Chain A
Amino acid sequence: MKKLLEISLGVVTSVGGFLEVGSMATAAQAGATFGFHLIWAVVLGTLCIIFLVEMAGRFAAVSQYTIADGIRERFGFQVFLWPLLATLLVNFLVMSAEIGGVSIALELATGIGFQWWALPAALLAWLMLWKGTFGLIEKGVSILGLVTLCFVVGAVMLKPDWKAVAAGAVPSLPAHDATNYWFMAVSILGASISPYLFMFYSSGAIEDKWDKSYLGVNRAIAWLGMTFGGTISVSVLIVSALVLSTNGIVQVDDYHQLPLMLIPIFGFWGFVLFVASLGIACFGAAVEVGLQQAYLVAQGFGWDWGEDLKPRDDPGFSTVYTVSLFLAAIPIMLGLDPLKLTIFSMALTAASLPLTVVPFLFLLNDERYVGAHRNGIVSNAAVIFIITLAFVLAVVTIPLQIFGDV
Chain B
Amino acid sequence: MNLLRDVLDKQVLDRKGVKIGKVDGLVAELRPGKPPRIVAAELGSITLARRLGARPGRWAARLAAWLGGDRHSEPHRISWKKVRDIGLDIEFDIDGRETSIFDWQDWLRDHFIGRIPGA
Known: A77-B9, A77-B51, A319-B108. A312 touches B18 (CB 8 A): no
Which of A73, A130, A302, A304 is within 8 Å of B118, CB to CB? A130
Chain A residues with Cβ under 8 A from B4's Cβ? 76
Q: Which of A72, A312, A322 has the most CB of B within 10 A?
A: A312
A312 partner, pick from B12, B51, B109, beta carbons under 8 A: B109
Q: Which of A77, A81, A130 is close to B24, meaning CB atoms less than 8 Å apart?
A: A77
Per-residue interface assignment for chain B, residues 107 to 119, with 1 indicating a CB less than 8 Å from any chain A CB and 0 otherwise: 0110011101011
Q: How large is the interface on B (under 10, 10 to 19, 20 to 34, 35 or more residues)?
A: 20 to 34
Interface residues on A, range: 20 to 34
Q: Would B112 and A319 count as touching, CB distance under 8 A?
A: yes
Encode B10-36 as 1/0 by CB contact (under 8 A) with A. 111000001111101000000000000
Residues of B within 8 A of A314 (CB): 105
Known A-B contacts A131-B118, A315-B105, A316-B105; A302 and B12 likewise in contact (beta carbons under 8 Å): yes
Task: Name the residue in B19, B24, B118 with the highest tally of chain A Cβ atoms < 10 Å from its Cβ.
Answer: B19
A77, A78, A301, A310: which has the most chain B beta carbons within 10 Å? A77
With CB as the reference atom, state the residue of chain B lying closest to A131. Answer: B118
The A interface is mostly helix, strand or loop, or mixed, namely helix
User: Do A312 and B9 have beta carbons less than 8 Å apart?
Assistant: no
Contacts of B119 in A (CB 8 A): 130, 310-312, 318
| A366 vs B88: C-alpha distance when bound (angstroms) | 15
Q: List 24 A-B contacts (CB under 8 A).
A: A65-B88, A72-B9, A73-B9, A73-B11, A74-B5, A76-B8, A76-B9, A77-B9, A77-B48, A130-B116, A130-B119, A131-B118, A301-B22, A302-B19, A302-B43, A303-B21, A305-B19, A311-B113, A312-B119, A314-B105, A315-B105, A315-B108, A315-B114, A316-B108
Given A304-B18, A310-B119, A315-B105, 17 further pairs, Cβ under 8 A: A64-B88, A69-B11, A72-B9, A72-B22, A73-B9, A73-B11, A77-B51, A130-B116, A131-B118, A301-B22, A302-B21, A302-B43, A303-B21, A305-B19, A311-B119, A312-B113, A319-B112
